[in-house]
Structure 1
Amino acid sequence: MDHAIVIGASIAGLLSAAALHRRYARVTVIDRDTLPTADAHRRGVGQSRHAHGLLAKGREVMDELLPGLTAELVAQGALMGDLQSRARWIHSGHTHARAESGLIGLSVSRTLLEGQIRRRVSALPGVRVLDDRPVTDLLANRGRVCGVGLASGDPMPADLVVDASGRGSRTPYWLSELGYERPAEERVTIDLRYGTREFRRLPHELDGDLVLVVAPTAEIPRGGVALALEGDRWIVTMAGYAGNGPELPLRQFAAFAETLPAPDLHQLITVAEPIGEPRSYHTPASVRYRYERLSRFPEGLLVVGDAICAFNPFYGQGMSVAALEAKALLDPDLRPLPFFRRITKVLDAPWDIVVGGDLRLPGVEGELTPKIRMINAYLGRFHAAAAHDADLARRFLRVSNLMDAPPSLMSPGALLKVFRNGAPRALPALV
């Protein structure tokens, strides 16, 4: 195999290139943006100015694809810490119990993370990262994609094309042009509006914790997160569903924090020194394209990242899932439908976590099944018990960090702990 093209120099696209370079003599990443030469925000990643979570599994896989990446980021100021002993998790209004979990988190800005990945990938043998090259169409011959057409009018042939172009992916449209059925689309409308401010960070703030997460509840569909970043900064992002996000002036921003299900974030904002300019963002929906359910699909074309499944960003799943999808490109079988069926196993658990969590909130539009109702009822009791049981808190972290499958929260041992810790009796549910 000679040449693979990746559309999009996103984290999903760059990690895909890191995997493909082990199999192809040449890999070309093409992006419509002018890519920054330093660590900076770029137009195509509007959400980059807000807090980004890198889950433990995502960091682990990134280090597999680009050995030494974590150490390089830490050398540039990123912070590492145990995700249970150095982080404060507040779910259903309950602060989870502390202990050493063995799960190591990395707190880093999107710009530093993407910039370092881009530097590493650009230096790989046979890999080129090209900017200012919008893709207009696919080249195809006899049921096989054989390259892309560029806005300049130039064709770029390839043995494999991977679409990592994000939420604006044109693959469904291109499939129609080539005479194929478009994939079914699952959509959960959230109308999530959020705002972000940065603050100077002092060592004693949050008692030395590196992460604070206050999750929304059914009664208060608002949440927030504070992450320690390189450069002695806090990045604080707060969000509200059904269009009820925070205003950006500091006084109103702090007032929004005061309405969250726990006071911790408001306490931080009222003592920390604000820096930089605030910014806002809007995510209308979580969207998943069901390519694995198609009966026909052109050879030589794959889809990854937000182009196949765009999560509610408040859960911090996207980058880590993209890393797992990139790792799946190492499999010898890159026929499209088998590939899509393999990564369905990667997508199902985080998708169920996000959709199930959001559908308990007022104003979210989607199918609230009896199964989701039962799971949410159980998790409310689970979080109450996890406030007193560090093992339950660790179990939840392992699931939310994609290390374990959701059924581990329903093991006989976990059920017994939930009952024993004073929570109302929980109904068993299939997760």
Structure 2
Amino acid sequence: MDDDATDNHLRTTGPHTEDRAEDRPEDRPEDRPEGHAGDHAVVLGAGLAGLLAARVLAMRFPRVTVIERDELSQEGPVFRAGIPQSRHTHVLWSRGVELIERMLPGITGKLLAAGAVLLDTPREFLWLSPADWFGPVQGARVLLASRELLDSTVRGEVLRNPRVRIRSGATAAGLLAGPDGRTVTGVRLRDGERLAARLVVDATGRTSKAPAWLTEIGHPAPAVTRYDSHLGYTSRYFEIPDDPARSWQGVYVQGRPDLPRGGVLMPLEGNRWLVTLVGNGEHAPPVKAEEFLPFARSLRSPALYDAIRDATPLSAPTAFRNTANEWRHYERLERWPDGFLVLGDAGCRFNPVYGHGMTVAALAAEALAKEIRTLDPERIAAASRRIQRRTSTVAAVPWQIATSEDLRYPVTEGPPPDRATRILQRYMSRVMAGANVDRTIAARFFGVLSLTRPPGTLLDPVTMLRVLSKRHLPADPDTTAYPPHHRAPAERGARRSA
């Protein structure tokens, strides 16, 4: 897969790449006037999607400017308002880790040195699926770190490229375009400044104003598909208590339609646990500190509650409710201006409970890299419509996963499931039940969930035979408080005192 024909690796040698920028004085950012658009790309938003897009564009554009509304700290990882969900659990699936490492070689080691961890899931977790407990099987690797650490580290690595700079504390207010609106020529900032660019990329996330901006220059707004399961998050940090007998690194208790409550516990740098409680509709978790533990105790297993009941809280609970799946279908528009792209959550966002947002951002950056690898800036701008369609396709699989699972819950608002979706839901219930007891099914299930394997992996004849051979297993059984391979705290304490 890694030969020149497919070019799965980002190309960083040869013409138009960043190592040539330092060889040509005329291409240095400080030697170009701000109004010169021909060699300039502007990325709106310094989240993960924007930073990775800037890294990729720097292979072809001598100058890349990232415009970020927030003031960015130079003192390391800190919370910022532009990523309000950063105080809740995030996971970077193995596919995302692999792609970001390709774009920014050595970054995984830097994250681990700063306190991030790479864990095998579900082997190193207590994971109660909607069907049953996963056994200690290896499914996929996940990188766990605070969003603040991840963004700060990625930003630092991207800025090592002299072609990229960030202007923080600046807000885009609209697009600049030619008289006929067919070409975007830059952006207008809120303070009135006009910033010329050959290419503008909107990576401003859930608050993107791109539909209104397109309308202003004579283009239609995209159609929108939306599914909202009314999932609520409430999260809190805890100090990790000493427990030499603890044999797991994280806990995930999933809800299901008959009890739509769940919770996840994950380790972070700084000897912290981040605990996020989740629930749908009227089961949304409370925000009051005194109600946090009782909600944790109400889950399908006491494992998460037992872990934190005597742990020291390090923060007050924080809520997040904006969790709907929403796809703005820019890829369907027949008219699209040259020189404009929309990436990341600005185009398609998912219910964050499935943990796909950051990995999809990396997949979109990879798709962008493949599309522009042989193009100069002018041809990249002219190919914007094709590039928009290609980068949008990476959302298809995680969208299917998120929406088909959300549609299991009666409170979900959105287009009703068609017959194919209902059949898929029934089959995936069988897959989940089989994955709890069959290592082969589990490996393939987590390969798809981590976006490493295509969904067809679960539909090939060998997998289907293994899944159907487990049809005697109930899809929603009563489950034990703890998995067979892990004893409850009281049992472990009794064993130590014996």
**What TM-score bracket applies, with the shorter chain setting the length?**
over 0.9
Whole-angstrom CA distance in 2 between matches of 1:206 and 1:246: 30
| 1:112 equivalent among 149, 152, 155 | 149
Partner residue, 1:263 = 302
Larger mean Cα displacement after TM superposition, 357-366 or 329-338: 329-338
**Native 8 Å contact 1:215 1:223 kept in 2:** yes
Whole-angstrom CA distance in 1 between matches of 2:217 and 2:250: 47
Partner residue, 1:350 = 398
| 2:447 equivalent among 387, 394, 398 | 398
- Shift of residue 26 of structure 1? 0.5
- Shift of residue 263 of structure 1? 2.9
**Is residue 374 of structure 2 the alignment partner of residue 326 of structure 1?**
no
Q: 1:175 to 1:106 in 2, by over 3 A?
A: same
Report Cα offsets for 1:37-90 as digits up to 9, x if no partner. 221110111111111111111111111111111100001111122223223332
Structure 2: runs of 5 or more not aligned: 1-37, 476-498
**Is residue 69 of structure 2 the alignment partner of residue 32 of structure 1?**
yes
Partner residue, 2:132 = 94
**Native 8 Å contact 1:226 1:236 kept in 2:** yes
Whole-angstrom CA distance in 1 between matches of 2:100 and 2:274: 23
For 1:283, the aligned partner's letter is N
1:299 is paired with a residue whose SS is coil
The answer to which structure has the higher strand fraction is 1
Report Cα offsets for 1:154-174 as digits up to 9, x if no partner. 111011000000111111111
| 2:410 equivalent among 362, 375, 384 | 362
For 1:383, the aligned partner's letter is M
Partner residue, 2:32 = none
Partner residue, 2:284 = 245
Partner residue, 1:191 = 230
Whole-angstrom CA distance in 2 between matches of 1:65 and 1:151: 32
C-alpha RMSD over aligned residues: 1.9
Whole-angstrom CA distance in 2 between matches of 1:63 and 1:120: 11
**Is residue 183 of structure 2 the alignment partner of residue 135 of structure 1?**
no
Report Cα offsets for 1:88-122 as digits up to 9, x if no partner. 33221411222334x33211110100011111112
Structure 1: runs of 5 or more not aligned: 427-431
For 1:114, the aligned partner's letter is D
For 1:82, the aligned partner's letter is D
Partner residue, 2:485 = none
Partner residue, 2:16 = none
| 2:120 equivalent among 77, 82, 86 | 82
1:275 is paired with a residue whose SS is coil
- Shift of residue 425 of structure 1? 9.7
**Is residue 412 of structure 2 the alignment partner of residue 374 of structure 1?**
no
**Is residue 98 of structure 2 the alignment partner of residue 50 of structure 1?**
no
1:276 is paired with a residue whose SS is coil
Whole-angstrom CA distance in 2 between matches of 1:82 and 1:239: 23
Report Cα offsets for 1:253-291 as digits up to 9, x if no partner. 122122223332222222433222221111152110111
**Native 8 Å contact 2:185 2:197 kept in 1:** yes
**Native 8 Å contact 2:337 2:385 kept in 1:** no
**Is residue 265 of structure 2 the alignment partner of residue 217 of structure 1?**
no
Partner residue, 2:341 = 302
2:81 is paired with a residue whose SS is coil
Whole-angstrom CA distance in 2 between matches of 1:159 and 1:206: 59
Query: Over alpha carbons, which structure has the higher Rg?
Result: 2
Q: 1:89 to 1:205 in 2, by over 3 A?
A: farther
Larger mean Cα displacement after TM superposition, 82-91 or 318-327: 82-91
For 1:7, the aligned partner's letter is L
- Shift of residue 410 of structure 1? 2.1
Larger mean Cα displacement after TM superposition, 341-350 or 22-31: 341-350
Indicate the percent of aligned positions where both proteins have the same amino acid.
38
**Is residue 111 of structure 2 the alignment partner of residue 73 of structure 1?**
yes
Partner residue, 1:429 = none
1:349 is paired with a residue whose SS is helix
- Shift of residue 206 of structure 1? 8.9
Whole-angstrom CA distance in 2 between matches of 1:238 and 1:248: 10
1:207 is paired with a residue whose SS is coil
Whole-angstrom CA distance in 2 between matches of 1:50 and 1:20: 30
Q: 1:370 to 1:205 in 2, by over 3 A?
A: farther
- Shift of residue 247 of structure 1? 1.7
TM-score normalised according to structure 1 size:
0.94
TM-score normalised according to structure 2 size:
0.82
1:95 is paired with a residue whose SS is coil
For 1:95, the aligned partner's letter is W
Partner residue, 2:384 = 336
Whole-angstrom CA distance in 2 between matches of 1:53 and 1:301: 30
Q: 1:309 to 1:270 in 2, by over 3 A?
A: same
**Native 8 Å contact 1:385 1:423 kept in 2:** no
